[in-house]
Amino acid sequence: MLPFRTVLVTGGSGFLGRKIVAKLKEEGYYIFAPRSSQFNLETNEGVDDFFQSCKASQNPIEAVIHSAAYYGGIGINQKDPAGLIERNTRMTTNIFRACATHGIKKIVSVGSACAYPGHLTDIMEEKDIFNGRCHDSVEAYGFNKLIHLVFGKAFYKQYNVAFNQVALTNLYGPYDVFNEERSHVVAAVIKKIVDAHLGLTPPPTLWGTGTPKREFLFVDDAASVIADSLKWPTDLEPINLNGEEITIRELVDLICEIVGYKGKILWDSTKPEGVMRKCLSGEKLKHFITFPYHPISLKKGLKLTIEWYMANKKEADARL
C-alpha cells in the first residue's frame, strides 16, 4: 500500500526528476511534475498558486519530493556562487512555506555530498554533516543542502511535516546536462572525449591532476531510492546514498576505453579539483530502504550513458 496518493516532484522534467517521476508512476502514485513555465519555484506567489490549484482539483498534493535545483560543476560554483545560494534558497523557502500552509504530509529533500565538511578525508557518515564548513569549491551549493536540513527539522517540529533527506553522490546517466557551463564531471568528461574521438576538437584538457577519488551513481538507482524514501519514517539527519568509488583518472581511462578514444589526455594542474576524497557511508541506508537494492555497475552505467549521448549528441549538447 502506498503511503500517499499524490506527489509533487519539483524539477520533474530534469535529469534526476524525470527518473523519479517515471519510478513513482510505475509504483502507482498520481504525480504532479510541472515545468518551470507552469510553476515558478522562485516566487512565493507562483508556488502558492500551484498548490492552491491542486487543492481545488480532486487531487490535492499530499507529499513533495524537492529535486529542483540550480546547479553545475566546479566552474559554475566559481562563476556564480551568489546565484547558487540565492536561487536555491529562495526555492527551498517557498516550497517549505507552501507545504506548511497547505497541509502537506511529507517532504523529501534531495541532498548532496557537497554539504559535508570539506576537511573530511575518511568515509563520511551522516553524524558528520554539521561538523565543519563545506569545501570552498562547492560551498554555495552545498550550504543550501544544509539549509534543507534546518528547514526540515524546524517544519517537522512546528508543523508536523514529515521529512527525509537523501544525500546523493555524483550522478550520471542518459539525459544528463552535457553543456560545458553546467555539466558535472562524468558528463563533462564524456563530452570532451567523444568530441576529440570524432575529430571535433583537439585532445581534451581536463582540470586538476586526476588523483581525487569520487563516487558515481547511476541516475535510475538514485531515483528508485528517492521514490522509496516516501515510505521511510522521519529522520532529521541526511541518509546517504553512496556509489562506486574511483579516481578521476581511472574514470577518464574507463570512458576512453568505452568510447574507443586512443588519443592524448592533457591535465591542467593549475585548475581546481576539489577535495582529495569524497566518499559517503552507505550503512544507515540499510536500515531504511524497503526493497532489494542492487545498483548498476559503473562500467555498465557509463556504457549506457555514452551510447545514449552519441545517439542524441545534438540534443544533449543543446540542453542547459
| 133 within domain boundaries | yes
141 given a catalytic annotation: yes
For cell 526528476, what's the residue? 17
Count CB-CB contacts under 10 A for residue 275.
21
What CATH code is carried by the domain that includes residue 288? 3.40.50.720
Distances (CA, A) of 240 to 8, 70, 125, 173: 22, 21, 8, 19
Tens-digit pLDDT profile for residues 227-238 = 999 999 999 999
**One of 29, 70, 116, 141 is an active-site residue; which one?**
141
Q: In what order do the strands lie in the sheet with 6-10?
A: 30-32, 6-10, 63-66, 106-112, 162-168, 238-241
Distances (CA, A) of 76 to 93, 138, 179, 184: 22, 9, 12, 10
Question: Among 144-148, 241-245, 270-274, where is mean pLDDT lowest?
Answer: 270-274
pLDDT of residue 263: 97
| Rounded-to-integer distance, Cα 84 and Cα 185, Å | 18
| 124 within domain boundaries | yes
pLDDT of residue 92: 97
| 231 within domain boundaries | yes
Rg (CA), the chain: 19
pLDDT of residue 225: 99
pLDDT (mean) for 64-72? 93
pLDDT (mean) for 18-40? 94
Beta bridge mates, 267: 206
| 232 within domain boundaries | yes
| Rounded-to-integer distance, Cα 166 and Cα 178, Å | 24
Q: Can you give the three-state secondary structure of 25-81, one letter per residue?
A: HHHCCEEECCCCCCCCCCCHHHHHHHHHHHHHCCCCCCEEEECCCCCCCHHHHHHCH
Give pTM, 2 decimals.
0.95
Beta bridge mates, 238: 165
| 158 within domain boundaries | yes
- The conformation of residue 177, written as its DSSP 8-state character, comes to -
| 15 within domain boundaries | yes
| Rounded-to-integer distance, Cα 121 and Cα 249, Å | 19
Average pLDDT, the chain: 95
Residue 84 pLDDT level (bands cut at 50, 70, 90): very high
| 304 within domain boundaries | no
Characterize the bridge pairing of strands 106-112 and 277-278: unpaired
**Which residue, 195, 206, 189, is CA-closest to 267?**
206
pLDDT of residue 201: 97
Distances (CA, A) of 289 to 7, 65, 296: 19, 17, 17
| 91 within domain boundaries | yes
| Residue of higher predicted confidence among 318 and 131 | 131
pLDDT (mean) for 8-26? 97
Domain with 90, as residue range(s), is 6-171+216-243+277-294
Beta bridge mates, 32: 8
Is it the case that residue 320 has pLDDT exceeding 80? Answer: no
Q: Which helix (H) or strand (E) holds 154?
A: helix 139-159
The total number of structural domains in the chain stands at 1
Tens-digit pLDDT profile for residues 89-137 = 999 999 999 999 999 999 999 999 999 999 998 899 999 999 999 999 8
Tell me if 297 sits within 8 A of 156, measured CB to CB: no
| Residue of higher predicted confidence among 194 and 37 | 194
